[in-house]
Amino acid sequence: MARMIDAASLKGWIRDGQELAILDAREDGEFGRSHLFWANPCGLSRMELRARAILPRLATRVVCIDGGEGLAGRLADYLESIGCSDVSVLQGGTPAWIAAGYTGFSGVNVPSKAFGEWVEHHFETPSVDPEELKAMMDAGTDMVILDSRPMEEFNRMSIPGAVDVPGGELVYRIGEFVNRPETTVVVNCAGRTRSIMGTESLRSAGIPNKVVALRNGTMGWELAGFTCDRGKTASYPQGAPKGAAEAFARADAFAKRHGVTFGTRADLARWQADTTRSTYVLDVRDPAEYAAGHMPGSRSAPGGQLVQATDQWVAVRHARIVLLDDTGTRARMTGGWLSQLGGWDVMVLTDGLDGPLATGPWQPECPEAAAVKLPSLTPEELAAESVKGGVQVIDLARSIDFRDGHIPGAHWGIRTRLDRLRGALADARLIAIAAPDAAQARLAAPEAAALTGVPVYILEGGSKAWRAAGLPMAADRRVPADADCADFYLRPYDRNDGVEAAMREYLSWEIDLVNEVAKDGDAPFGHWH
């Protein structure tokens, strides 16, 4: 049984320089209300899918926390059941931490976002406000606008005329967009972090162009009274970019300047054989490139997102991080930033793709899901059963994705809270579980069966396959309501009400992170600088 520790003891562990993972058992939306700076979300609904991915060494010292609801004990029990040997629970959770005089943080991806604010202060990142950018547009200024977010976010809202180039790709692909030093480069995201990091990536790489961040991103643009585009898909050309050799030289200098080391598969094998240290192996290329061929045992972690949301991939402080890509450019840029974020040993693998390769998207190891043997239905079979009546669909998609599109009549739910659907499922003849991945559906199916006592099937491919089959979809931005989206920390523009106020609050929160981090005292930003 996991031991209990108090806030002062945990504070000491954070500062002792040894490996430590702090895992929060709440769902992401609940986690975002208040948590420890170095805490990583590991909600009970996905713990089987997440725990092994973020804990590469089961002997790692782990502390489980929550909001005082008692969830941390359940997470600790699970971790011990899979072999974790050094598990503790923070007595009283986050409220006890704050009561002890330590700092609590709202929001998600806080270390990365705070780092972005530190970078702006430290490097004096130049920026333009929305009004200045609009004037430049109207004047026909020689410029390009590059959006540093993944396509999913770019598609939702973008600056008119912008092209999507996720942050990890910027230095690698800038030659596709500028061939004259006179061209101004404007980098934006939704708010601040990826605008700043993208701008500083290009500046630190030493491109001759003027590079500026759009102050406050697409949110700032709309708050200024301008309109974002919706549904745009403009992106960079696929394949090897123009100026690849020059990009590599710039990235190599950047990485060496910030303490990144370099190694081979043989060095990686030695690291992985060391049972006293945790090692993450992350492929920072675009996910499509990863799926086409990757080093076995590596995980897809696009470089820009890895720097923007490090806690999604890396939970263990003072672990080793090994980065790889095909040319070395993207891995070097990512490594240079992670070294400055601080707290890890970072190595770029120089021959990561030279041996045998695996294909397909990354899938988490989850023996619990693999052990579940339940029948499945194709979308067409589910549609045929629905005509007969008595069919209920439970959709485990993210709440934000359920709003955008779901099977008509489906009930949105969180796996560990299916009991809340008991009334809605009372008259079911059969239940179908739709989920973004099969493992998630398999984990939920036995729980749904125990709840209802009726046959439970897994919908092959989830609602994505249903849509692909040409079957009708429903959408409702108000279901689930904002207050019910415990699984997802709603961005300001995801909200149904008070969007403008939420945008202003969010931007103020980001700007103030520098002060909050200074008060907390545990961020080693700029360690190598």
Tell me whether residue 525 is in a domain: no
Tell me whether residue 285 is in a domain: yes
The predicted pLDDT at position 527 comes to 52
The predicted pLDDT at position 1 comes to 79
The predicted pLDDT at position 529 comes to 35
Tell me whether residue 358 is in a domain: no
- Is 126 a residue whose pLDDT tops 80? yes
Does residue 228 contact residue 176 with C-beta atoms inside 8 Å? no
- Percent of the chain, pLDDT > 90? 96
- Is 474 a residue whose pLDDT tops 50? yes
Cα 483 to Cα 481: distance, rounded to the nearest angstrom: 5
Q: Are residues 286 and 374 in the same domain?
A: no
Domain count, the chain: 4
Give yes or no for a cis peptide into 302 (omega within 30° of 0): no
Tell me whether residue 517 is in a domain: no
Q: Are residues 232 and 153 in the same domain?
A: yes
Q: Are residues 96 and 149 in the same domain?
A: no
Q: Are residues 134 and 39 in the same domain?
A: no
How confident is the model over 434-460, as a mean pLDDT?
94
State the average pLDDT for the chain: 96
Lowest-pLDDT choice from 63-67, 326-330, 524-528: 524-528
Tell me whether residue 11 is in a domain: yes
Cα 306 to Cα 339: distance, rounded to the nearest angstrom: 12
Q: Are residues 136 and 209 in the same domain?
A: yes
Q: Are residues 92 and 182 in the same domain?
A: no
Model confidence at 514, pLDDT cuts 50, 70, 90, reads: confident
Distances from the Cα of 230 to the Cαs of 153, 167, 171, 234, 302, in angstroms?
Answer: 10, 20, 26, 12, 24
Q: Are residues 225 and 272 in the same domain?
A: no
Instruction: Tell which phi-psi region holds residue 526, choosing left (phi > 0), alpha (psi between -120 and 50) or beta.
Output: left
Using the 3D structure, point to which of 108, 126, 160 is the last residue of a domain. 108
- Is 428 a residue whose pLDDT tops 50? yes
Q: Are residues 442 and 415 in the same domain?
A: yes
Model confidence at 380, pLDDT cuts 50, 70, 90, reads: very high
Chain centroid, CA 31 distance in Å: 14
How confident is the model over 154-166, as a mean pLDDT?
97
| pLDDT tens digits along 195-244 | 999 999 999 999 999 999 999 999 999 999 999 999 999 999 999 999 99
- Helix or strand run (H / E) with residue 31: helix 28-31
| pLDDT tens digits along 409-418 | 999 999 999 9
Q: Are residues 385 and 455 in the same domain?
A: yes
Tell me whether residue 425 is in a domain: yes
- Is 394 a residue whose pLDDT tops 70? yes
Q: Which residues make Cβ contacts (< 8 Å) with residue 266, sequence separation at least 6? A: none
Strands 279-283 and 320-324: what pairing?
parallel
How confident is the model over 97-125, as a mean pLDDT?
96
The predicted pLDDT at position 492 comes to 94
Tell me whether residue 36 is in a domain: yes
The predicted pLDDT at position 329 comes to 98
| pLDDT tens digits along 317-363 | 999 999 999 999 999 999 999 999 988 999 999 999 999 999 999 99
Tell me whether residue 355 is in a domain: no
Cα 114 to Cα 97: distance, rounded to the nearest angstrom: 20
What are the backbone angles phi and psi of residue 136, rounded to the nearest 5°? -65, -40
CATH of the domain at 279: 3.40.250.10
Lowest-pLDDT choice from 84-88, 346-350, 484-488, 522-526: 522-526
The predicted pLDDT at position 383 comes to 97
Using the 3D structure, point to which of 108, 126, 149 is the last residue of a domain. 108
The predicted pLDDT at position 290 comes to 98
Q: Are residues 132 and 226 in the same domain?
A: yes
The predicted pLDDT at position 528 comes to 35
Q: Model-level pTM?
A: 0.95
How confident is the model over 432-459, as a mean pLDDT?
95
Does residue 105 contact residue 34 with C-beta atoms inside 8 Å? yes
Residues spanned by the domain of 129: 114-242
Q: Are residues 170 and 57 in the same domain?
A: no
Using the 3D structure, point to which of 190, 208, 242 is the last residue of a domain. 242
Q: Are residues 121 and 233 in the same domain?
A: yes
Cα 377 to Cα 317: distance, rounded to the nearest angstrom: 43
- Paired with 299 in beta bridges are 282
How confident is the model over 296-307, as a mean pLDDT?
97
